[in-house]
Structure 1
Amino acid sequence: DNVVHLDWENAPADHAILTVKWTLNQISYHAKRPKAGLITRDADKPTTKAWLKLRNELKERFRKIPVKIHLPIQNQLLWDQYRRCNGQEGLTLMDDEGNDLNPEEARRQLAKMLQDRWSHADGKHIPKRTESQFGEGFPPTTREILKAIKATNRKAATGLDGIPAKYVDQIPVEDIQQLTELIWRHTSIPRQLVDMKVKPIPKKDSRTTVQNTRPITIPSTVMKIINQVILESITPYIEDKLLPQQHAYRKGRGTATAITELFTKLKQPGQTLLLLDLSKAFDTVNHAALFAALKKTGLPAKEYNLVRDQYVDCEVRIQWAKRFAQPFLLRNGIRQGCTLSTSLFNLVEAEREQKCRGKIPKWVNYSAIMYADDKAIIVDNPEHIQTIIEVNQQTASDYGMRQNNEKTAKLTLDMDTTEIRTVKWMGILLDNKLNMNPEVDARIRKAKAAATTFADTVKTIPPSMLAARVRITGACAVILPHLLYLWREIPFTPQQRSTMTDVATQLLAKVLGNTSGVSARTILQHVENITKGLTPRMKQMAEIPWELQKDTYADLSIAQTSDFHKQGQSVTVKKSGLSVYPPKNSVLLFSE
């Protein structure tokens, strides 16, 4: 009888309080959304008006597209569960004491960190525009726009324009062409397309502090198309200024060519390998130095001004927990995630290396191998190391970057030593004898850890939700890259290669031991096929035949095998009494 029953609908005072609270929450929420300040900047410019009109039309078009609810595909389900088991799910920000940061405090710390890094230059950080000559800089053709649309990643995150990249094929080409023609005519890009949406990603652990995150720029979808067109125009001018020893972000080059050059030049006892490290190189490049280098390429004024326009009055909007921090202006640094960023950084590094060559005495003999901001220098005389370090540090400072000498690593080749020392470059452990044994051991440890995590992952998924094909391709994609990375380029001995292929076969056999349709010979054949002198791609690693066809070989599933004994050219299986004859020069080695 003493229980009080509350009737919210008939309590005007309480109902009014809840209404006011809900209204204030809505105002606070919308005040931090990006659309609050997007339509007010340069609203009278023709390019801005054209873009806002196109944006509204595209949003209306995409709103009419029926929403399809897709159940999680098995590949994605397996991968998400593997990341959870591996502790790589999401990003949680914490303070120095290990306590979780609330979203508002996390946004504040992220904004402060990036503002200190990106907004410390003065107002004259970018040179003036270049005057265009008559008839210079024609707008992109329909073919060029179609090529740019085709090159756009459909799985990329959505930028500030709110247009999902998965709908890029449904954007009318004629509408994009009209906008680009207007941008080329006025040499001006709408600020709403230039502004940067930035999200943090972890460097290593998914639970980390703000300082251990890496900012990634998420450009607008339409801006990606425009920048792809610009990139096609400026690439020949930039490539002409790059150096032969630069391997990153270039057609026909990559980690494989960089490692090949390293092992070609590093082979004489007494040589010293010097690894230099730049701290936050992309984020600290000076804009004045960047555009001075860009101007020296002889780039047409139209393209130069369009690149320059993306760094003028560009606002940075940091997103965390679906809301944005207070924006600030970008005054230094190259935008990671932008289509043009890698080419621009390569250009800066090429000019910096040429300045290093000019300042280092000619009698100092050394070779440099460059991959983005990673530089490996091979020195014949150890007495010249300090000179090289000091010159590189000075030139980095001239471009606004900082060389972290605490992370500088040295390795001197000594084939007769008994003390093994190692350094890591491009993810590879290099030792002072170049016998690659530490790298082989590290690969085997990583592969075994990956196999264990994958086995634990599969146990958490009901068998009815995981097809045999998905399980097989997942196991190959998780385990094999640890063992087969740069398989051809690294000079492993035949014994080392045999050891790693044996381990690959063993781990796959163990992980796939209860999978129907998988045979011992299938796994062995797959591992052998992808290690025939070529560095396999991820797609090749995951293309294991998931069902053995009937042929002259006995079809024996791994689930039926328990004990293998090598006898000449055959392997006897005790449980079934059958013999499987492996291909010539192959190795069969399974473990329970």
Structure 2
Amino acid sequence: MFTLNKPQVKILLNEKGELVTDKKEIVELFKKHFETLLNRQEQGSTNEEMTYYTVEPDIGEPKQEEVARIIETLKNNKSPSENKIPAELLKKGGKDLINTLHGIISEVWKRETMPEEWNTAILCPIFKKGDSMLVSNYRDTGYKVFTSLLLERINPYATEIVGEYQCGFRKGKSTVDHIHTIRQIAEKHYEYNKDLHLVFIDFKQAYDSINRKELWRVLRCLDIPQKYIDLIKMCNSKTNLKVKYQQEMSEKFEVKSGLRQGDALSPMLFNIALEWVVRTANETRKMEVGEIETILAYADDVIILGNSRNEVKQTTIKFLEAGKIMGLEVNQEKTKYMCISRNDRNDLNLKVDPYIFEKVEAFKYLGININSKNNVHEEIKERVASANRCYYSLLKLFRSKLLSRESKVTLYTSYLRPVLTYGCETWATTKGDYAKLCTTERKVLRKIFGPVYNTETRTYERRHNNDLQNLYGRPNILSYSRSKRIEWAGHVWRAEGKIIKRVTEGRIVGKRPVGRPRTRWKDVIVKDLKMIHDNVKMEDANNKARWNEIMVAAMDLHGPLSC
């Protein structure tokens, strides 16, 4: 099977700087590393733990229907735990298996005692860029069903608690929501010649550093039912890990701090922890555009906004102080400061005692390029560069005589095109941008369909653009990105009262500078709709069926292939 995974490193350096090649020694090194990383000394809570006496809601035991539904939602093709039971087997187990698993879960629910097998997870270290590490876990499938069911019960409370500023792990939200919000704020500030200051916060091992005692106290303060809190505590107590690397397994060790990596409950618990940090920071200032909060987040990727250097500094101070109570420590090396401005500025690094945050001209946030000139063209260039890297990694398959053209086209549309068009819903593109995108797509299609043989000259010739489009038989990259943008515009229009609509319709009091203004996102949407029909208006988005027809019509507008 073809895979793009990088090979595992077979040589490591130990504490003395000596090379280690033995598999068992490597696993032991990883065990020591993660045992230290995941067992931090928690700071004592500034608030004493108190017993709350309130009227508790009636918490019913898990129903058999809930267990059956959760089993059906488990993802396939996931590595099983030590019991070797994959999700696919649970789904085929029938009523008897559901009855048995329901009985186990009900017993755990009543006794609030976790089976020993559920307390142990397998951890696989995976290298990222440089020498950073990402932790991935194998979880017992029974435990996954239990925590998924518990998450389903708690989610209504979490939805009410967590503010709209948080887009990570929220139903109906994605990275596009966050990207659109930031782009619209930057676009409007740039249009009216007003500076926008940003601090991109990065925490050191955010999930691993959460202060559990403080989190349990916060859950109670936020009126989460005590039964659910007790079950959450149970899931996070006496947890053990084993390190698996190159088929070798370490001895298990206990994890006493932070949230369980890879656990269904962890994203929700982190969102609640961060919500408490934001509330504790007590930042009342609002942005002029859409009257939105000055702190935005996608999971642990936090961004602080302000109209001046001092504003973001003061907000950052309050936010970091509140974060320390929850155990969150800022990563000075990865936290950056930026000012988006029309004018050339010589701002120094941002000093927030005891930290100094580097001032940058460009920053990659949620996979997109944010730069000091709010230049979307730079983002298009990065998309093209990323797509080219993806293309060359797949080149062997595109050249293969064993794969059909249809398979290669599917590979392009499902793997490479999403890389090229990531975030296209928020682009305010020009003809030059489309030219870069079209050129990249045609390069891939020419490799898929190959040259054409000229019988007269007896030579192979490069296919013309029209020939490529006819062979491809699908909307080209221009039509595809236009349709995605129109689809997103309809979603924004219907999001009454939400941040994405408030920033889109929000205004800044001021005067535009002299000269031709930049193309705005709304201008591109209006132009797209006019290309479909003069009578199409944004109000049509209220009718989803009608808007879907407009999206299909946009797909049929292939545009100039020589763009």
- TM-score computed with the length of structure 2 as normaliser: 0.73
Rounded Cα–Cα distance in structure 1 between residues aligned with 2:56 and 2:340: 59
Q: State the SS of the aligned residue for 2:481.
A: coil
Structure 2 counterparts to residues 165-564 of structure 1, below 5 A? 165-171=87-93, 172-204=97-129, 212-266=132-186, 267-268=188-189, 269-357=194-282, 367-417=294-344, 421-459=361-399, 461=400, 463-464=401-402, 466-489=403-426, 491-514=427-450, 519-523=468-472, 525-527=474-476, 528-534=478-484
Q: What secondary structure, in the 3-state scheme, does the structure 2 residue paired with 1:481 have?
A: helix
Q: Using a 3 Å threshold, how does the CA distance of structure 1 residues 587 and 134 change in structure 2: closer, same or farther?
A: closer
Q: Which residue of 2 aligns with 1:586?
A: 559
**1:351: Cα distance to partner?**
0.7
Q: In 1, are the aligned partners of 2:479 and 2:559 still within 8 Å (CA)?
A: no
Q: Does the 8 Å CA contact 1:530/1:536 hold for their aligned counterparts?
A: no
Task: Indicate the SS of the match to 2:136.
Answer: strand
- Name the stretch that deviates more: 164-173 or 374-383: 164-173
Which blocks of at least 5 consecutive residues in structure 2 are unaligned? 347-359, 453-466, 488-554
Check whether the contact 2:43–2:325 (CA below 8 A) recurs between aligned residues: no
Give the 5 Å matches for 1:64-103. 77=1, 79-80=2-3, 83=4, 88-90=6-8, 92=10, 94-95=12-13, 99=19, 101-103=21-23
1:488, CA displacement in angstroms?
1.0
- Whichever residue aligns with residue 412 of structure 1, its letter is C
**Gap change, CA 1:90 and 1:520, over 3 Å in 2:** farther
Distance (Å, rounded) in 1 between the aligned partners of 2:70 and 2:321: 39
Aligned-residue offset at 1:584:
5.8
Match in the other structure for 1:73: none
Query: Could you say if the C-alpha distance between residues 192 and 389 of structure 1 is closer, same or farther in structure 2, counting changes exceeding 3 Å?
Result: same
How far does the alpha carbon of each residue in 1:326-385 deviate from its partner, in whole angstroms, 9 at most, with x for none?
A: 322211111121111110111111111111125x88999971110111111111121233
Equivalent residue of 2:475, what SS?
helix
The amino acid across from 2:560 in the alignment is V
C-alpha distance in structure 1 between counterparts of 2:84 and 2:166, whole Å: 36
For residue 24 of structure 1, what is the aligned residue in structure 2? Answer: none
Q: Secondary structure at the match of 2:333?
A: helix
AA aligned to 2:23 is P
Taking the aligned partners of 1:503 and 1:347, their CA distance within structure 2 comes to: 45
Separation of aligned partners in 1, 2:345 and 2:286: 35
Find 1:162's aligned residue among 84, 104, 112: 84
Aligned to 2:33: 113
528-537 or 334-343, larger mean C-alpha shift: 528-537
Q: 1:92 to 1:395 in 2, by over 3 A?
A: farther
Structure 1 residues 167 and 123: CA distance shift in structure 2, 3 A = farther
Superposed CA RMSD in Å reads: 3.4
CA deviations on 1:532-562 (whole Å, 9 max, x unpaired) are 331699xxxxxxxxxxxxxxxxxxxxxxxxx
Q: Is the 8 A contact 2:196 2:308 kept in 1?
A: yes
State whether residues 139 and 180 of structure 1, in contact with CA within 8 Å, keep that contact through their aligned partners in structure 2: no
CA distance in 2, matches of 1:383, 1:120: 33
d(CA) in 2 for partners of 1:536 and 1:333? 42
SS of residue in 2 equivalent to 1:294: helix
Q: How many residues align?
A: 454
Report if the CA contact (8 A) 1:118-1:330 is conserved.
Answer: yes
Question: SS in structure 2 opposite 1:402?
Answer: coil
Question: For residues 296 and 587 of structure 1, do their structure 2 counterparts lie closer, same or farther at Cα, with a shift above 3 Å needed?
Answer: same
Q: CA deviation at 1:441?
A: 1.5
State the TM-score, normalizing by the size of structure 1. 0.69
C-alpha deviation, 1:134, in angstroms: 9.2
Partner amino acid, structure 2, of 1:510: R
Measured in 2, the distance between the counterparts of 1:124 and 1:357 equals: 22
CA distance 1:135–1:368, shift in 2 (3 Å): closer
User: Does the CA-based 8 Å contact 2:377-2:433 persist in structure 1?
Assistant: no
Aligned residue identity for 1:508: V
| Alpha-carbon separation, structure 1, partners of 2:42 and 2:282 | 30
Q: Which amino acid aligns with 1:482?
A: V
The one-letter code sitting in structure 2 at the alignment partner of 1:257 is D
Q: What is the distance in 1 between the residues matched to 2:471 and 2:240?
A: 55
The Cα of 1:515 is off from its aligned counterpart by 9.2
Comparing 96-105 with 117-126, greater Cα deviation is found at 117-126
Q: Which amino acid aligns with 2:35?
A: Q
Report the CA distance shift for 1:228/1:515 in structure 2 as closer, same or farther (over 3 A).
farther
The DSSP-based 3-state class of the residue aligned with 1:335 is: coil
Identity among equivalent positions (%) equals: 16
Q: 1:496 to 1:307 in 2, by over 3 A?
A: farther
- Cα shift at 1:449: 2.6
Secondary structure of the structure 2 residue equivalent to 1:138? coil
Out of 217-226 and 295-304, give the one that drifted further: 295-304
Mapped partners of 1:457, 1:94: distance in 2: 33
Cα gap change, 1:121/1:435 in structure 2, threshold over 3 Å: closer, same or farther? closer
- Deviation (angstroms), 1:425: 0.9
Structure 1 residues 189 and 142: CA distance shift in structure 2, 3 A? same
Deviation at 1:167?
Answer: 1.0
**Cα offset for 1:220?**
0.5
Query: Are residues 182 and 380 of structure 1, via their aligned partners in 2, closer, same or farther at CA, if it must alter by over 3 Å?
Result: same
For 2:560 and 2:208, how far apart are their aligned partners in 1? Answer: 49
1:261 and 1:369 in contact (8 A); partners too: no
1:397-427 deviations in whole A, cap 9, x for unaligned? 2111210123222221222449993122111
- 3-state SS of paired residue (2:484): coil
Equivalent position SS for 1:530? helix
CA distance in 1, matches of 2:469, 2:278: 52
Give how far 1:102 is off: 2.1
Residue identity opposite 1:145 in structure 2:
V
- Is the contact made by 1:396 and 1:402 (CA closer than 8 Å) also made in structure 2? yes
Distance between the aligned counterparts of 1:510 and 1:334, measured in 2? 49
Contact 2:479 2:557 in 1 (8 A): no
Q: Deviations over 1:427-473 (max 9, x none)?
A: 111121212122111222222232233223444x5x23x23322221
Is 1:139 aligned to 2:61, yes or no? yes
- Structure 1 match to 2:528: none
Distance in 1 between residues matched to 2:53 and 2:253, nearest whole Å: 29
Change (3 A) 1:306 1:127: farther
Indicate the SS of the match to 2:294: strand
Could you tell me which amino acid in structure 1 is paired with residue 278 of structure 2? E
In structure 2, how many angstroms separate the alpha carbons of the residues matched to 1:345 and 1:144?
25
Q: Where has structure 1 moved over 6 Å in runs of 4 or more?
A: 122-135, 360-366
**Equivalent position amino acid for 1:348 in 2:** A
Q: 1:139 to 1:492 in 2, by over 3 A?
A: same
